[in-house]
Structure 1
Amino acid sequence: MRSHSLFKKNNLRNLMLLASLQAATLMNVPMASADDDDIEEVLVISSRTKATLDDSPMRVQVLNEEELYEKANMKPGDIRMVLNESTGIQVQQTSPTSFNSSIRIQGLDGRYTQLLRDGLPIYSGFSGSLGLLQIAPLDLQQVEVVKGASSTLYGGGAIAGLVNLISKRPGETPETSLMLNGTSARGLDVSGFHSRQSDSHGFTLFGSYNRGDAYDPADNGLTAIPEFERVTVTPQWFYTVSDDTDLDVGIGFIDESRLGGSIDYVEGRAPDEYFESNDTQRMYSRLNLNHALESGLRLTLKSAYSVFDRSLEIPDFVFSGKQTSTFNELTLANDEGEGRWVLGLNAVTEKFDQDQAQVGFNHDYSEETVGAFGQYTRELSSLVVLEGGLRADSHSDYGSFILPRISVLLLPMDDLTMRIGGGYGYKTPNLFITEAEEIHFRNLEPIDPALFEGETSKGVNFDINHRLEITEELSLSTNFLVFYTQIDDALEIVESGEIYRFNQLDTAVKTDGAELNLTLSFSELRYLFGYTYVDARKETASGDVDLPLVSQHRVNQVVMWEREDDFRVGFEAYYFSEQNRENDTAGRSYWTFGLMMEKTLSEQVTAFLNFENFTDSRQTRYENIYSGSLADPVFRDIYAPLDGRVINGGVRVRF
């Protein structure tokens, strides 16, 4: 462990247990016991400095590799389950036939959450609600979630928070993993990962093939899961230039065809019925250069270039185009000593070229943002750590934004930590929001930057972590969080006849609530309980109105029996309270239940079998999800699963 004045107290071991506590209670990861001889520190990448989970004043939730391993067994093809089963996060399905989904953190729309890969914004914009469906978890080392305004460190868009996907890097020992999975919903997933380090060179390669046939468990003639086929390839090269300098360069390629709608249309029997087709290609390159200066400072250069080409087609309408984006950033950081700091400059560009736009509905745009930011972390004493940050951004269309942030870490007792923090955020108006996806961008007037302002926010959160050692084998870990966020000048879409227009609210959108996580551990057994309360609303002249498709109350419970290198059995139960819908009655509350089993067959081979939603909670069991005919359906808002009961199983091989 590196030297740090926070750890110079005699209770080093308890503080290290507390680091494991925070990872376990916040994100349901296994936690080391007091008898463990070696407790690994969790390094937090999203904090920008080389801070560990327990000494970072910024609240970060971490899913480690073991938790990702478990979730990958349940859903190897994408990361929706990784996020949806976490307290305070709701993955919302946005299309009734194509399975598109977006992330809601603490009740806020998906456009307010940044999805990053190793700190790089390569999933934004037109990919929107397809991004979650196109990221497989096998090559991830950990996932970090920051809730609340994070724009100070990562720029516009992180009003609700950010999800940072951390890739695996080559280790001292070569690693090869293969996974084969099949589902009762006619799905197939084949994934492979390889990493190797040889002298100064390292290499990782991830590839996957995912496909599924059209699936209609409700027998209502519509695809709950569309027909799709996807290929992913992401190689990355790591080079140690010298003792002080290292470089990594990577590229990525994703190609997917997705066809949903009428089952008869998909299977070629009814060419006049409803369909929704998405053909996408994503290509990106990335570069990261680190250099340690003689003064002990660290200089980092990051760069990314991304192209996303998508064609979205429904009957009698096609919306297609190419989004090109670049990201370049230079930072200087001091990671050691009692005062840690980072200073940075970055430049972001984004361009969208629409194909064959109709007159009056041309959505082409080009925009640039340049910004400067700084963050300083200081230990005021062995019990108090203060962190402050400031960002100044200048946008080509929407002017300047000044974004302060402050966080405080308190260590009043050996087994107790508290964090309080708050900050400002912003999001520039953009075509690619959930409401626009839901109408397939049809008859939607473009945004005129001269008529709009940037959405701005302010928010605060406070959380407490506590660990109680009841006996040598029995322990209880608790995390409690309260939060508040307010967004001004929020963007929405209003309907005027057959035309849709963007509009900016004169009143505020507000969300507040609380999260509670409990972890009870006894020998080989663990019980995890999570509860989320969210009050998300917008102000109107006649009073506050609840935001649609937000569960005010959510409960997640997991009972896990695990014997290391032998087997794992888990039972899961999730509750969602009723959700309001636009121009419709509220959806009903529901439970989903899951059972997962994993057996180690040898040092290399593990078999798994999962029964997801085995009680078949499904919106199509409660109501019809559309009115009209299959040639011209009018869909209701989706608040509950449509795929229902799904069984999946397979094997994972490690070499």
Structure 2
Amino acid sequence: MKKYSFILLLFLSSTIAYSQNILTAVIKDSETKAPLIGATASLAGTTIGASANASGELQLTGIPNGTQVIRYSYLGYEDRLDTLTFPLAQTTPLVVLLQAGGEELEEVVISTTRSSRTIENIPTRVEAITLEELGEKGNMKPGDIRMLLSESTGIQTQQTSATSANANIRIQGLDGRYTQILQDGFPLYSGFSSGLSIMQIPPLNLYQVEVIKGSSSTLYGGGAIAGLVNLITKKPTDEGELSFMANLTSANGLDLSSFYGKKFGKFGITVFAARNANQAYDPADIGFSAIPEFERYTLNPRLYYCPSERTQLYFGVNATQEERLGGDMRYIDEHESGYYFEQNNTDRFSTQFNLEHRFSDNAILSVKNSLSFFNRDIAVPDYDFQGKQASSFSEVAYSLNSSRSDWVVGANLWTDKFSEQNATTVGARDYNNTIVGAFAQNTFTPIDWFVLETGLRTDYVTPAPANKSKGLFVLPRVSALFKITDRLSSRLGGGMGYKTPTIFTQEAENVTFRNILPLNTSQTAAETSIGGNADINFSTLIGNNVTFSINHMFFYTYLNNPLILTLRPDNLYEFKNANGYVDTKGVETNMKFGYEWIKLFLGYTYTDARQHYNGSVRNMPLTSKHRVNNVLMLEKEDNFRIGLEAYYFSPQRLNDGSKGRAYWINGIMMEKMFEKFSLFLNFENIFDTRQSRFGSIYTGSRTNPVFNEIYAPVDGRVINGGIKLNLL
């Protein structure tokens, strides 16, 4: 009996062993045929599964005989189900092609670097805020782009007025005047018009925001020492878009925005219109406005025309009008004399013309032109500053692309004229600048894993600054991309920059340009810089379902001849070049985890910015040395999104030598999507962090206040909510 039992057991064992089949498969992208490292395969109804190696190959073992269903998955790709009968007749590995799907792998094309490559293939380090993220940030602050920029690592928005909420952006610790803000490649917010700029740009008509940190003057001329921000607007599509947004805030604000865009054969049109308004808001109940009373209207129509497949052009107009009043709540409510106030009335008007003609699939000629007019009137008790700016920008560029090399060469002309109205006894601060520039850039891919980008720009500036007898600036730059593996890459780059002397700085804004002497350009040196950055980027799959990516960047900028505002013995201010230099160095780290519809973003910025003046060294004022970003996003596409945010700012040194307090800002954002509309609710600064909680924000009397520097929020907790309609 034992003998038969042994034979039966041996037979069953051999049968079971025979029925355990092995599947070998190689998983690739259906278009590029690149292996999908970390892609998974699983046997339906079992725990049998495996992940692909560096060659995209995997094996499933222990598969029973018969008909089985195999599921192949990879984040950002459509799942594939194959029904196979085991044992397989095929003995060679199966080749499984997955098709990209969803938004995770949507290509991000960058235009700011002038090469129009995807973000993965550009040597210059560019951060892109895409349409999805713009929608999230637009829910939190529909009236302007301040929050959109301030929640990125390495960028800090600095409020320059306690009562009118004016602010600028600081990249890697450098003052806002060293950052150039563009719209579709046009410099519409420079010089005098930089005032209040980020507070007057609603985000609803933006398609993408591209940020380059570090010296970028070679790309777009002077003023981009710290970096540049390019606001890319939406274009008309065949399907069309008609959207509206209405937003109410607990701080007595109302935002109304609308956008329409559509193609009609050879023509296309986009129209953006917005009204943003707020009543004066004093959450600390100290008698001064934390948010001023303002009313702003924005209109941006644009007409597109494509006479042929090779030629396209557009002409657009930007118009903004705003009245803004902050200060003592008694003055705002009653307009009675004797109380402190700060009134800003601004008018912006600009045109944009762009023509592109393709001589072939590889050769493109582009012609650009813009005219800009900006008027601003700043009034405080016993003083009124009024000025008008007229500027223009014209450019001709030619691009020639091949499989291994891309060339861009061109020339541009800038004019910038400022006229002060009703000049005081110090004299008019007028100026009339002209810059003629020529540039060339090459992007070369000698081998698949290495891309080199080199550029050279020469600008001729009149009137010439003191350190440039002929007004000539030569600006080289170089960037390199190393694709070490499919998951690991690195970028290295650097360049030179400059900034022509101007009175329109944060320090001058703080004193409303009062008692500042005219700038003597011939005796004032231009600010010049050299800097670079290096980063490493890695992405992988943790287990079968968790994606992980990390980007770590090192940066350094050296700024020579910094222009500072000094107080003379006669109580007049004048701008002088400091005896020394400024340098800023540090690191930025960004990590992202993803699991199905859950995403976690972690960011850290270390900024060591210092002023080396007159043989002494001190930390740059109003700059957090340590900054931490934490964002948890729960999102199901076309269904809902919930965002939790926490941002930490370390203590900042103030100009009087004292230190501000460290603080956290926390928020919650919720949105529910339906077929044609969505509802959103946002709790910003939910724990009511305010500088007025740390101490008084002014000294002196209410009728003659002296405001302290603003390093933390003054508006506190703000709740907003509204509706977005998508009718096409």
Counterpart amino acid of residue 525 in structure 2? E
1:8 Cα shift? 11
Partner of residue 229, structure 1: 295
Counterpart amino acid of residue 548 in structure 2? L
Could you report, residue by residue, the CA deviation over 1:225-248 in whole angstroms, capped at 9, with x for unpaired residues?
000000000000010021111000
Please say if residues 38 and 540 of structure 2, whose CA atoms lie closer than 8 Å, have aligned partners that are also in contact: no
Please say if residues 387 and 420 of structure 2, whose CA atoms lie closer than 8 Å, have aligned partners that are also in contact: yes
Task: Identify which of 519, 524, 548 aligns with 1:447.
Answer: 519
Please say if residues 50 and 335 of structure 1, whose CA atoms lie closer than 8 Å, have aligned partners that are also in contact: no
What is the aligned-residue RMSD (CA, Å)?
1.6
Q: Is 1:11 the counterpart of 2:34 in the alignment?
A: yes
Partner of residue 18, structure 2: none
Partner of residue 583, structure 1: 656
Q: Is 1:178 the counterpart of 2:239 in the alignment?
A: no
Please say if residues 339 and 702 of structure 2, whose CA atoms lie closer than 8 Å, have aligned partners that are also in contact: yes
Alignment of 1:136-175 (within 5 A): 136-175=202-241
Task: Identify which of 363, 374, 383 aligns with 1:308.
Answer: 374
SS in structure 2 at match of 1:205: strand
Partner of residue 600, structure 2: 527
- Pick closer, same or farther for the CA change 1:34–1:161 going to 2, 3 Å: farther
CA distance in 1, matches of 2:562, 2:267: 48
Counterpart amino acid of residue 465 in structure 1? N
CA distance in 1, matches of 2:154, 2:544: 31
Partner of residue 644, structure 2: 571
- Pick closer, same or farther for the CA change 1:443–1:288 going to 2, 3 Å: same
Task: Identify which of 673, 690, 704 aligns with 1:632.
Answer: 704
CA distance in 2, matches of 1:307, 1:366: 14
1:453 Cα shift? 1.5
CA distance in 1, matches of 2:327, 2:210: 35
Q: Report which of the two structures shows the higher radius of gyration computed on alpha carbons.
A: 2
Q: Structure 2 length normalisation: TM-score? A: 0.85
Please say if residues 11 and 414 of structure 1, whose CA atoms lie closer than 8 Å, have aligned partners that are also in contact: no
SS in structure 1 at match of 2:516: coil
Counterpart amino acid of residue 37 in structure 1? A
Please say if residues 88 and 515 of structure 1, whose CA atoms lie closer than 8 Å, have aligned partners that are also in contact: yes
- Pick closer, same or farther for the CA change 1:321–1:13 going to 2, 3 Å: farther
Q: Structure 1 length normalisation: TM-score? A: 0.95
Partner of residue 603, structure 1: 675
SS in structure 2 at match of 1:556: strand
1:526 Cα shift? 1.0
Counterpart amino acid of residue 618 in structure 2? V
Partner of residue 417, structure 1: 489
1:631 Cα shift? 1.1
Counterpart amino acid of residue 504 in structure 1? N
- Pick closer, same or farther for the CA change 1:305–1:13 going to 2, 3 Å: farther
Partner of residue 373, structure 1: 439
CA distance in 2, matches of 1:414, 1:130: 43
Please say if residues 128 and 433 of structure 1, whose CA atoms lie closer than 8 Å, have aligned partners that are also in contact: no
Partner of residue 81, structure 1: 147
Partner of residue 69, structure 2: none
- Pick closer, same or farther for the CA change 1:13–1:203 going to 2, 3 Å: farther
Q: Is 1:500 the counterpart of 2:573 in the alignment?
A: yes
Q: Is 1:510 the counterpart of 2:576 in the alignment?
A: no
1:32 Cα shift? 3.7
1:15 Cα shift? 13
CA distance in 1, matches of 2:580, 2:445: 40
SS in structure 1 at match of 2:177: helix
Q: Is 1:261 the counterpart of 2:327 in the alignment?
A: yes
Alignment of 1:358-397 (within 5 A): 358-397=424-463
Task: Identify which of 620, 623, 631 aligns with 1:558.
Answer: 631
SS in structure 2 at match of 1:173: coil
Please say if residues 539 and 545 of structure 1, whose CA atoms lie closer than 8 Å, have aligned partners that are also in contact: yes
- Pick closer, same or farther for the CA change 1:237–1:139 going to 2, 3 Å: same
1:51 Cα shift? 0.8
Q: Is 1:37 the counterpart of 2:100 in the alignment?
A: yes
CA distance in 1, matches of 2:195, 2:422: 23
Could you report, residue by residue, the CA deviation over 1:138-161 in whole angstroms, capped at 9, with x for unpaired residues?
000000000001000100000000
1:570 Cα shift? 1.1
- Pick closer, same or farther for the CA change 1:515–1:148 going to 2, 3 Å: same
1:49 Cα shift? 1.1
1:542 Cα shift? 4.3
Could you report, residue by residue, the CA deviation over 1:444-497 in whole angstroms, capped at 9, with x for unpaired residues?
001101101111000010001100111332111100000000000110101114
- Pick closer, same or farther for the CA change 1:229–1:156 going to 2, 3 Å: same
Q: Is 1:404 the counterpart of 2:467 in the alignment?
A: no
SS in structure 1 at match of 2:700: strand
Please say if residues 94 and 129 of structure 1, whose CA atoms lie closer than 8 Å, have aligned partners that are also in contact: no
1:50 Cα shift? 1.7
CA distance in 1, matches of 2:177, 2:37: 39
Task: Identify which of 398, 403, 421 aligns with 1:332.
Answer: 398
1:585 Cα shift? 1.6
Please say if residues 361 and 444 of structure 1, whose CA atoms lie closer than 8 Å, have aligned partners that are also in contact: no
CA distance in 2, matches of 1:140, 1:390: 30
Q: Is 1:483 the counterpart of 2:545 in the alignment?
A: no
CA distance in 2, matches of 1:149, 1:542: 26
SS in structure 2 at match of 1:133: coil
SS in structure 1 at match of 2:507: helix
Counterpart amino acid of residue 566 in structure 2? V
Partner of residue 610, structure 2: 537
Identity of aligned residues (%): 46
Alignment of 1:428-439 (within 5 A): 428-439=500-511
CA distance in 1, matches of 2:128, 2:610: 28
The range that moved more, 525-534 or 577-586, is 577-586
Counterpart amino acid of residue 697 in structure 2? I
1:275 Cα shift? 0.3
Counterpart amino acid of residue 195 in structure 1? G
Partner of residue 126, structure 1: 192
Counterpart amino acid of residue 430 in structure 1? T
Task: Identify which of 385, 402, 419 aligns with 1:353.
Answer: 419
CA distance in 2, matches of 1:269, 1:452: 42
Larger relative contact order (C-alpha < 8 A, sep ≥ 6)?
Answer: 1
SS in structure 2 at match of 1:51: coil
SS in structure 2 at match of 1:170: coil
- Pick closer, same or farther for the CA change 1:15–1:437 going to 2, 3 Å: farther
CA distance in 2, matches of 1:422, 1:474: 35
